[in-house]
Structure 1
Amino acid sequence: MLNNIFKALDQLGLTAQKRAIHIQFANPSLNQQVFLQKIQGQHAINQGMTAELICLSTNAHIPLKQFIGCQAAIDQVTDTGTLFRTTGIITEAVQGQSDGSLTLYKLKLQDATALWHKRRNSRVFMNKNVLDIVQTLFKEWQQRSPLFASSLTLDLGGIKQDYDIRPFVMQANESDYDFITRLLRSEGINWLIDETQLNVANSNSPIQAQKLRLIDDNSQYQALNRRTIRYHRSSATEQYDSMTSLIAERALQPTAVHIQRWQADALEQEDGAGSVQSKHQHSQQHDNASLGLEDAWHFTPAWMQDLNGEDGATASGNTQIEKLNQHLSHYHDAQAKQFIASTTVRDTQVGYWFKLNEHPEIDQHSGADQEFLITAKSYYNQNNLPKDLQQQVHQLITQSQWQDHQNTNPEERQANQLTLQRRNIKTVPEYHPLQHRPAAHPQRARVVGPEGEEIHVDEWGRIKVRFLFTRNDDHSHDGGAGSNNNDTDSAWVDVLTPWAGEGYGARFLPRIGEIVVIDFFDGNIDRPFVTGRLHEAQRSPTKFDDQGKLPDTKKLAGIKSKEYQGSGYNQLRFDDTTGQISAQLQSSHAASQLNLGKLSHPKAQAESEDRGEGFELRTDQWGAIRAGEGLLISTHAQDQAQGEHLEAQTAKQQLEGNQNNAKALSEVAKNQQTDELESVEQLQAFAEQIQEKIARFEQAMLLLSSPNGIGLSTSEDIHLSADGQLNQFAGDSINLTTQKNLIAQASQKISLFAAQNGIKQVAGKGKVEIQAQGGGADLIARNALQVTSTEGRIEITAKKKIVILAGGSQLEINGGGVFPTTGGKFEVKAGQHLLKSGASVSVPAIDLPDCSAKQADAAKSGSAKVILD
């Protein structure tokens, strides 16, 4: 065999003009060394194109790398003598057996979307529709891969609908192929690999890029150049290709579709139009309703756009449910009836339609019922080698353990099988919501927001995050959105909370920089939500009181917050340390705390020193205790909190006992012709405010009660004030002591009564002064009345007169003189008696304030103050 395969074949009579198929490589050196013997391929709407090529060469040492990534064009000679072209990229190459003269090579030819399978990525898109995303990825591929750019172009001419702008779309560990086709499936957009030039003048015509056509309307499918295909038997004597077999297939499909999903902004499960019955009649025996074959989906929750509409995303609603309803219904209708055709027509192309002629059954129809769209094609073709050479090739294929296509009719060197559906049946890609999506697993993300913010949320408490897999290079198309570490990196993401009522619940908003755990509703990678947060690396676990670390403080539990853009905190701490169990509610501001239980100092280690038992309410600044219906402060024990919280019967009994004692003493004072206590009835009324059966107060009063004493202490002043009575009752003594003055004042009167042991007033120094500034003064004693001056004198002064009475005798002194009067004897004893002429003595002037007038003025003005000047 000659070194050049083509020269050898020319000598055997297989010239270029006699070949049924030709191959052209973009690598010129291969065009001189490789001969295409056979092609076997498959092509389908929404799947792409792939073909297996069996090639011959006299060179057994062609490096397989020369094939990989090389563009190639396969030209098949049609029944009209034209060349029908199929192009693609060589993605696999296998060297077969060699017999010394011939070597086999098996190549795989695929369209450029096969490259998408080789690139896996994770990235996010915000506020884009599906076509925007596809175009972005397509442009990136063209920029990054010259092979892709020269092999495939994007054709959007078949798109006739507008598509929703989605607030958030994620590619998650998906190949670009799976990601792009997932999006197209979800919108019901078909994709079709087509040739820029289906027919070429000769096999040396330049290789042109294929087209990726996106189509959402059947009217955008074109007709084959031949427009019609004849139904006829195949024979070597026939000049033109034809369809030799047409088999109709019917398969029972769901007869109704029902889509429902959660609509968050409506707070309800949306059902759209409910169960939508198929318009296609599936059975002559039963109508669709009676078949009851419902394809019911509980679908992914609706996306939620920005609540203020600032992101430009399409508002979710029933329109999307109806669209998905129609999508699934159209797919079931298309699968219900298809046709399988066997033909020899070499220039049939997937995504094109034709009219079928001369078929005994189809001819009975008219119009669109005679027109068929090619949705899939499997085909083979081969060159007709001389018999000896064909046997040599067959033996090498067998030795290579390759499966050889054996046609049932040896006279036919080529044929194809077409999957057809009537042109007027809506074509949509298969979309299985659970299968056509990536696996979604919990993952980490970082909370982000605008610069200068620490907490960034919307009205629902949703946050923005940066997914940790995002790379700058993948997001440069949108100003870096997705990898900017700010609020452009995602749409609003829901935050799971343990309690979410209408205006109530639990709220712990994630803060910028925190690491959160993301999960996905219904396993849909485009519906993320936050399930919780993590402590990792330098983001240490909660340090209560800003002290300690785990595992040393493992016995502490609770909640600690952080001051917004500050260093303060609030905390609810539970200390479950054995023998030191306690709870604390604290704000670091002014060390304001409520401490309960076995109190101990903040723990930096597993243990800390005790500091008391019970409870402590404290702050470094101001404090207030308010109770609008009453307040009880008591040191009476109530073991294990078994009583009611305002139980104060001991205090009530004590008040009632003191009231009875005070009342009895008041009666004694009244009988002794002094003033009775005015507050006895008020004390009784106060005690009656304390209820027994239901422990509560009838009025908003403050009750202090202790079985062992109450102490008030201050280094400054104590002020007691009451608009009503100020009462003091003691079963024993009331003692008043002061280091300076004891001053008592009353705007009405002061009344003192001692029932048993008298009244004693002593001035250790200074004088005792008693004045009656507005009236008289009575000093009465049942027995002796003694006035003594131990070291000075006694003076009795009256402005008008002095009268002394005793035992029927009288001494009167006035301005007229001194007049003794007695019925007995008048005895005077003196060492000397001197009687002189008369003289007068002036009475010292004592100026007393007019108290009654001042009191009258105060009463007239309503003042509680009497000014004595």
Structure 2
Amino acid sequence: MDGLVFTCRIGELPQTTFQVSQFTLQEELSQLYRLTLKVVSSRDDIPLNEQLGDSASLTVTRNGVTERTINGLITGAEQGNTDGRRTFYIFTVRPKMWLMTLNQDSRIFHRRSVPEILTTLLKEHRIFFARDTLYKRHAEREYTTQKRESAYDFWCRLAAEEGIVFWFEEEQTLFCDCRLGMQADIDLTYNTHPETDETDTTAYEWSYGEYLCSNGTIQKDHNFLNPKYSLEHQRQSDDSGHNSVFESYGRFQWDEEGKPFTQLRLEQLRNYSKVGTAKTNCIRLRPGKIFTLQSHPIEAMNDRWQVISVTHYGQQPVASNDGGEGTTLTNEVAFIPGHQDWRPPYRYKPLADGDEVATVVGVGSEEIYVNEHGAIRIHFHWNRYDKADDLASCWVRVAQGWNGNGFGFMAIPRVGQEVIVSYLNGDIDRPIVTGCTYNGLNRPPLDLPREKTRTTFKTRTHRGEGFNELRFEDDKGSEEVFIHAQRDMNMQILWDNTTQIGNDQKTEVAHNRTAIIKNDDDEAVQGFQTLEVGQNQTVT
């Protein structure tokens, strides 16, 4: 068939069921496209619900040659006007990746790079993708949390953190981290009189502008392993000025991560410093494409340009018997210089909205599992994917009541204990244990409320049944300080030791008692003294 023709296929219905009256196709880098199809059918009884989730496609042909086919899923179906002979329908078509917006989950990815996580999510949702266009190094992350996010929001957040853009071609999803992964295979001719040009590669309106944007960024973080080191990186564009964006905490832990991250943040801030718009009739223009402009009277415009967004409009009046002009196809495209890397805008992590509880975990039957920093492993109660073992989390530091260099208080939560987890600066990837709680399984060491006047610090023998305890009784008339040592009790006093007892003292030694006095021994008894020796006594 000669000329410009639009055809569509809706689900399993015969292709002749519908004729395309008009369509709008909205596309943008790192966004889900939206195709709105207005079609006409001789049937007025097409069940709308049966079309939802089914496949659909729009094909654009010119002089019998297919220029482009857009494939996707039907996410919306409407029935419009009808005159008894012809009924209008409107179908909304989105990429299969759109299904990832319908769910919500919380999970943890361990020791995975961002591309590996992105690939995992696409595979889980059975989305066909191509991933051979990554040119930069993407470091492995020890701990990455998805928290009450849809799979799509989580996917986009991680991609934006590492400057990965995505777009759609035919029936596959493509993503890359550099413009080198895009195709540069379209030539456009500038012609303000499109009626004199019968090709599909005409740009008939053109504008280009440059805009004031933030021209620098300062990124600062903190690594507890090297607290005195200023973990700070800066990047500045070539422009003069001091319009920098400062961000602190939660982005990186090492210089090799901070340097590329800071560069990406600058590129994100400068996305729209140079941008142009055009109107063309080329359906092949889409995100992920680089085109070359020709025949513009200003030579600087005859260059390579990268498509960042485009909206296509198509009308086929013959389908709805509207008469008038023939089939038309136009679009409005936004572009940036072809040598520039466009980055998806940075997405901030969901902030932790409060503390939560978790259970301390470890290896096998080990009761105390800890590293050299006193950090432990925990299992969150919402974690459906990981077993309750030493791989359920990263090493989580434990806040202590007092600490310093080689001194302070240290009590390590043990496997099975319930702990309170907070988040440093609200960062869901940086948990910290700030306390412990009793529950229905782990009971307090006191008989409450009967022993409510007692304060105790009671430990438990490792792999045993014994305990050590320091206890205070504050019941009036029964005040007491109680110390229980399960085995040995050692005291080291480097100077004086003074003990004053207001009443009696009793000492009972079940075995031997040895006292070594390296100088004088003075003892004064103001009353009677009784000494009973059961066997021998030797005095020298």
State if a TM-score over 0.5 links the two structures. Answer: yes
Question: What SS does structure 2 have at the residue aligned with 1:334?
Answer: coil
The match for 1:217 is 178
RMSD: 2.9
More divergent stretch after superposition (531-540 vs 319-328):
531-540
How far the C-alpha of 1:339 sits from its partner, in A, is: 0.8
Which structure shows the bigger proportion of residues in helix conformation? 1
The match for 1:327 is 264
Give the total of aligned pairs. 525
The match for 1:543 is 445
Q: Answer yes or no: is 1:163 the counterpart of 2:153.
A: no
More divergent stretch after superposition (18-27 vs 561-570):
18-27
Q: Answer yes or no: is 1:174 the counterpart of 2:149.
A: yes
Aligned 1:482-497 pairs, distance under 5 A: 482-483=386-387, 485-497=388-400
Q: 1:709 aligns with which of 527, 531, 540?
A: 527
Asked whether the 8 Å contact 1:71–1:89 carries over to 2, the reply is yes
How far the C-alpha of 1:718 sits from its partner, in A, is: 8.8
Asked whether the 8 Å contact 2:159–2:165 carries over to 1, the reply is yes
Q: Answer yes or no: is 1:298 the counterpart of 2:248.
A: yes
The match for 2:406 is 503
How far the C-alpha of 1:352 sits from its partner, in A, is: 0.5
Structure 2 unmatched runs, 5+: 504-517
Distance 1:165 1:700, change over 3 A: farther
Asked whether the 8 Å contact 1:631–1:703 carries over to 2, the reply is no
Q: 2:427 aligns with which of 493, 505, 524?
A: 524
Q: Answer yes or no: is 1:46 the counterpart of 2:27.
A: no
Distance 1:338 1:626, change over 3 A: closer
The match for 1:461 is 374
C-alpha distance in structure 2 between counterparts of 1:174 and 1:386, whole Å: 43
Identity over the aligned pairs, expressed in percent? 22
Which string of whole-angstrom CA distances, capped at 9 and with x for unpartnered residues, describes residues 90-143 of structure 1?
A: 11222334443333322211111101112222222211111222222222222x
How far the C-alpha of 1:634 sits from its partner, in A, is: 5.3
Which string of whole-angstrom CA distances, capped at 9 and with x for unpartnered residues, describes residues 604-660 of structure 1?
A: xxxxxxxxxxxxxxxxxx9888766555555689xxxxxxxxxxxxxxxxxxxxxxx
State the AA in 2 paired with 1:64. L
Q: Answer yes or no: is 1:390 the counterpart of 2:322.
A: yes
Q: Answer yes or no: is 1:128 the counterpart of 2:103.
A: no
The match for 1:340 is 277
State the AA in 2 paired with 1:431. Y
The match for 1:91 is 75
How far the C-alpha of 1:80 sits from its partner, in A, is: 8.5
Question: What SS does structure 2 have at the residue aligned with 1:178?
Answer: helix
Which string of whole-angstrom CA distances, capped at 9 and with x for unpartnered residues, describes residues 468-489 of structure 1?
A: 2223xx4xxxxxxx22x22122
Asked whether the 8 Å contact 2:315–2:327 carries over to 1, the reply is no
Asked whether the 8 Å contact 1:258–1:294 carries over to 2, the reply is yes
The match for 1:249 is 209
How far the C-alpha of 1:295 sits from its partner, in A, is: 0.9
Asked whether the 8 Å contact 1:186–1:431 carries over to 2, the reply is yes
Which structure shows the bigger proportion of residues in strand conformation? 2
Which string of whole-angstrom CA distances, capped at 9 and with x for unpartnered residues, describes residues 445-465 of structure 1?
A: 221111121001111111112
Asked whether the 8 Å contact 1:52–1:107 carries over to 2, the reply is yes
C-alpha distance in structure 2 between counterparts of 1:438 and 1:410, whole Å: 54
C-alpha distance in structure 2 between counterparts of 1:635 and 1:720, whole Å: 30
C-alpha distance in structure 2 between counterparts of 1:317 and 1:460, whole Å: 18
Asked whether the 8 Å contact 2:454–2:473 carries over to 1, the reply is yes
- The answer to which structure, 1 or 2, has the higher relative contact order (CA under 8 A, 6+ apart) is 2
Distance 1:632 1:54, change over 3 A: closer
Distance 1:301 1:326, change over 3 A: closer
Asked whether the 8 Å contact 1:46–1:190 carries over to 2, the reply is yes
How far the C-alpha of 1:535 sits from its partner, in A, is: 1.4
Question: What SS does structure 2 have at the residue aligned with 1:65?
Answer: coil
TM-score, normalising length: structure 1? 0.56
The match for 1:446 is 359
Q: Answer yes or no: is 1:21 the counterpart of 2:6.
A: yes
Q: Answer yes or no: is 1:268 the counterpart of 2:228.
A: yes
State the AA in 2 paired with 1:112. K
Question: What SS does structure 1 have at the residue aligned with 2:131?
Answer: strand
More divergent stretch after superposition (101-110 vs 230-239):
230-239
The match for 2:167 is 192
State the AA in 1 paired with 2:230. E
Distance 1:634 1:531, change over 3 A: closer
Which string of whole-angstrom CA distances, capped at 9 and with x for unpartnered residues, describes residues 721-745 of structure 1?
A: 46xxxxxxxxxxxxxxxxxxxxxxx
C-alpha distance in structure 1 between counterparts of 2:89 and 2:440, whole Å: 55
The match for 1:780 is none
The match for 1:561 is 459
Which string of whole-angstrom CA distances, capped at 9 and with x for unpartnered residues, describes residues 2-61 of structure 1?
A: xxxxxxxxxxxxxx767631111341x253433322211211111121122222223322
Distance 1:586 1:96, change over 3 A: farther
Distance 1:709 1:59, change over 3 A: farther
Q: 2:286 aligns with which of 318, 330, 349?
A: 349
Distance 1:571 1:230, change over 3 A: same
State the AA in 2 paired with 1:129. S
Q: 2:415 aligns with which of 486, 490, 512?
A: 512
C-alpha distance in structure 2 between counterparts of 1:705 and 1:246, whole Å: 110
The match for 2:332 is 417
Aligned 1:143-162 pairs, distance under 5 A: 152-162=127-137
Asked whether the 8 Å contact 1:440–1:520 carries over to 2, the reply is no
How far the C-alpha of 1:253 sits from its partner, in A, is: 1.6
TM-score, normalising length: structure 2? 0.89
Of structures 1 and 2, the larger Rg is shown by 1
Distance 1:558 1:38, change over 3 A: farther
